[in-house]
Chain A
Amino acid sequence: QLQLQESGPRQVKPSETLSLTCVVFGGSISNSGHYWGWIRQAPGKGLEWIGNIFNIGSTYANPSLESRISMSVDTSENKFSLKLSSVTAADTGVYYCARGQVPYSNASPWDYWGQGTLVTVSS
Chain B
Amino acid sequence: GAGVSQSPSNKVTEKGKDVELRCDPISGHTALYWYRQRLGQGLEFLIYFQGNSAPDKSGLPSDRFSAERTGESVSTLTIQRTQQEDSAVYLCASSLKISSGNYGYTFGSGTRLTVV
A-B complex is real: no
